[in-house]
Amino acid sequence: MQDDVEQLKGRLVVSCQALPDEPLHSSFIMGRMALAAKEGGAAGIRANTKEDIREIQSQTELPVIGIVKRDYKDSGVYITPTMKEIEELMEVRPLIIAMDATDSLRPQGVTLDTFYSRIREAYPGQLLMADCSTVEEAVHADELGFDFIGTTLVGYTRQSRGQRIEAEDFRIIREIVARVKHKVIAEGNIDTPRKAKRVIELGAFCVVVGSVITRPQLITKAFVQGLKD
């Protein structure tokens, strides 16, 4: 396990995800997307659902950061929000399981602290990543004991509305790196090789890049908008 973690140090993790309403939604396609990412030099994959992860594992031996995105009516938390999703992921055993680590309540009013304790009790050896949206959330997740602190949700929550990771030369990442003891994974709005290199220089353990590599509809839209501008 430690060797797999060290394989990620200073390198690129590619997020291979397509939700049900997206054109590439298919475990088969995500498996091939992961294989393409490997051929391009990726050190790891971030993937959604046990079905996609199982297919990715059949195509490449790269370490996986696993999540399950699922909506619940009584909560805005949708990245691995309950023990049901944890148990699904444990069927395929990704190297790391990532989850929403914001201060929002999980389904049925469960706090992050309670959820974290339940996971550690059930699966004490599993590596866990905290998907955070603010510096304060990152510090709290670090204190709880998450193995990895991620910036995945910066700008996507009510707590972080209007923020961007690269604002003021990646101020958020620099502050998180300075204040936590666990490894920081930079993720979110990192859409150029220059930005990816910069977050590693600032102390991030590794960097996750998704849409700009694996969502062709968004890449196309950017070119179309550029021509209009």
The pLDDT tens digits of the residues spanning 14-71 come to: 999 999 999 999 999 999 999 999 999 999 999 999 999 999 999 999 999 999 999 9
Beta pairing partners, 96: 65, 127
Spatial separation of the C-alpha atoms in residues 37 and 60, rounded to whole Å: 10
Amino acid at 193: P
Domain ranges of the chain: 2-228
CATH of domain 2-228: 3.20.20.70
Plot region of 10 (φ>0 → left; ψ -120 to 50 → alpha; else → beta): left
Query: Cα–Cα distance between 165 and 135 in angstroms, integer?
Result: 11
Phi/psi of residue 21, nearest 5 degrees: -90, 10
Model pLDDT, residue 19? 96
Per-residue pLDDT at 57: 98
Q: Report in angstroms the alpha-carbon separations of 107 from 72, 73, 87, 99, 139.
A: 7, 8, 16, 13, 23
User: What residues does 196 pair with on adjacent strands?
Assistant: none
Predicted pLDDT of residue 229: 85
The pTM is what? 0.97
| pLDDT value of residue 2 | 77
Whole-number percent of the chain with pLDDT over 70: 100
The residue ranking higher by pLDDT, 188 or 3, is 188
Name the token pair of 10.
Answer: 């200073």
Nearest-angstrom CA–CA distance, 78 and 100: 7
